[in-house]
Amino acid sequence: MTKTGDHFPESSRGDLSRRAFLRRGVGGLVGLGALTSLPLLPAAVRAARSKDASSSFPDMDAFDYDEFVFSRFQYTLGETGDNPWDYGPDCDEKFLAYLRKATGIRVSEKSFDERVVRVTEKEKMFKSPFLFMTGNANFRLAPIEREAFAEFFRRGGFLYGDDCVVGTTDNRFFLAFVREVSAIFPGCEMKPVEADNAIYHCFYDFPDGHSPVYQGAGYPDMGLFIEDRMVSFLTCTDQHCAWRGSARSVRMVGKWIQEAAFKMGVNIVIYALTH
């Protein structure tokens, strides 16, 4: 296990992956289709708005307080990205199945949609002490979100971010995450996590002190610390995609990567539930 992303130099060099190529191709076709249907645009916008307005953000109190809720944080994209905030719910489910099997943690059975958290009002942040963010695009936290995150951390919340590397050339999500989270507490910036941090050893042992690398640009894992407590953990190694265990990942890295990413995920959750 290495700390850098040398396994996938093509990603860090900016070459298009096959998946990204296909995605962009499909995106282009869809774009062409959209241009041809410009007259229908107002109705589509209305429909989208209607969907947004009706998308109820569930009452998190539907959860048992003894259950662990793997909440997905819905953030606002700063620019178009390949993977939006809600990318790969199937990856979450696979990981949670592993978490249930490997530990005695009572993992909530609620659906992905029920686990979504968005900061439209500050108090909505404070339903679940664990939040997960992923994506591959640049983003900015709105002032209300920044303020809410500051209070979220002070109250004891934990935020895990993972850069979904695929298709990007410049680790936009990772860099945006570092920038935005570092700005929450002036003078308190995200910094590399030491190898002896409990997050690498609390259940499974990662002696190298780094998350297993599926793909990424070679940045170290980063943490935001309030006094000695790590309140946010960030990986650029695409743990979330590795949880899917796709044929591509097996072919490119080996079958071990899914298991290793699962184990890292378990460690992150246990860390959040014990620190």
Partner 1 sequence: MNWLLNISPDEVLVFKGLTWGSALLAIAGIVALVALLWLLQTGKPRRRLKGLTLFLRFAAGVLIVLALMEPTVRRKDVLPQQSFLAHAYDVSGSMSIEDQADKSRLAAVLTTAGPGAADRQELDDQYRHVDFVFDDALHAQSNARAVEGSENATDLLGAFRGVQLQTKGFPMAGVILLSDGNPTLNEDRKKILEAAREIQAPVYTVGCAPRDPGADFWIDQVSCPAEAARNVDSAVRVLVGVRGRQGHTARVELREGERVVETRTVRAEREMQALPVDFVIRPMTEGVHYYNVRVSSDAHESYPWNNEEDFFVNVVSQKRQILYIEGYPRYEYRFLRAAFEGDERFQVKSVVYVTQAKHTYRQGVERRDELVEGFPEDENELFGYDAVVIGDIAAARFTTRQLEMLHEFVRSRGGALLFLGGKDTFAASGFGDSPLAGVLPFRFAASYESIDRALPVVPTRLGIERSMFGPYNPQLDSTSPWAILPPLKGLYPLHDLKPGAQALCAIDMGEGDANPAVVAYQRYGRGTSLICGISATWPWKFRTPSDNVSYEAFWKEMILVLMQGGNRKLTVDAWPRKVTVGDEVKIRGSVANAQFQLDPTARVDLRMETPTSGTISLEPRASSEEGYTFEKVLTPSVPGVYKILVRTVETDEQGKPCESEAVFIVRRVAPELREVRLNESLLREIAAVTGGDYVHLSDYGQLKDLIEPRAGTLFRMKERPLWDKGLVLASILGLLLIEWLTRRLGGLA
Q: Which helix (H) or strand (E) holds 8?
A: none
Sign of the CA dihedral with 48 first, then 54, 59, and 64 last: negative
| 114 scored as a contact of partner 1 (CB under 8 A) | no
SS3 (DSSP) at 92: helix
Identify the three-state secondary structure at position 248: helix
Q: Residues 56, 65, 80, 196: which binds partner 1 (CB under 8 A)? A: 65
- Residues ≥6 apart with Cβ < 8 Å to 223: 190, 191, 192, 193, 197, 199, 230, 232, 233, 234
How far is the CA of 226 from the CAs of 144, 184, 191, 229, 261, in angstroms?
Answer: 20, 11, 12, 5, 26
Query: What DSSP character marks residue 139?
Result: B
Q: Which of 3, 4, 77, 102 binds partner 1 (CB under 8 A)?
A: 102
> In the numeric block, which tokens belong to residue 35?
């241009």
Distance (Å, rounded) from C-alpha 164 to C-alpha 83? 8
Taking the complex as a whole, the smallest distance from the CB of residue 124 to partner 1 amounts, in Å, to 11
Nearest approach, Cβ of 98 to partner 1 (angstroms)?
Answer: 13
Task: Name residues contacting partner 1, limited to 220-259 (CB under 8 A).
Answer: 227, 229
Does position 103 interact with partner 1 (CB under 8 A)? The reply is yes
CB nearer partner 1, residue 184 or residue 272 = 272
Binding-site member from 51, 66, 80, 247 for partner 1 (CB under 8 A): 66
- Strand 229-235: give its sheet, edge to edge: 116-118, 71-74, 130-135, 158-163, 229-235, 222-226, 191-192
> If binding is defined by CB under 8 A, does position 196 make contact with partner 1?
no
Cβ proximity to partner 1, 46 vs 229, nearer residue: 229
Binding span for partner 1 by CB under 8 A among 5-13, 17-25, 104-112, 141-149: 104-112
Q: How many Cβ atoms sit within 10 Å of the Cβ of residue 193?
A: 22
Report in angstroms how near the CB of residue 117 gets to partner 1 at its nearest.
13
Q: Is 58 in the site for partner 1 (CB under 8 A)?
A: no
Pairing state between β 229-235 and 130-135: unpaired
Judged by CB under 8 A, the chain residues 142 through 181 that form the site for partner 1 are 151, 154-157
Which residue lies nearer to partner 1 by CB, 77 or 202? 202
The region of 25-33, 63-71, 182-190, 241-249 touching partner 1 under the rule CB under 8 A is 63-71
d(CA 66, CA 105): 9
Choices 18-26, 84-92, 102-110, 169-177; region in contact with partner 1 by CB under 8 A: 102-110
Residue 116 found at the interface with partner 1 (CB under 8 A): no
**Residue 187: which residues within 8 A CB-CB, separation 6 or more?**
none
Of 5, 7, 17, 68, the one binding partner 1 (CB under 8 A) is 68
**Which CB, 16 or 226, lies closer to partner 1?**
226
Q: How far is the CB of 61 from partner 1 (least distance, A)?
A: 6
Binding site for partner 1 (CB under 8 A): 61, 64-66, 68, 102-106, 126-127, 129, 151, 154-157, 202-203, 227, 229, 269-270, 272-275
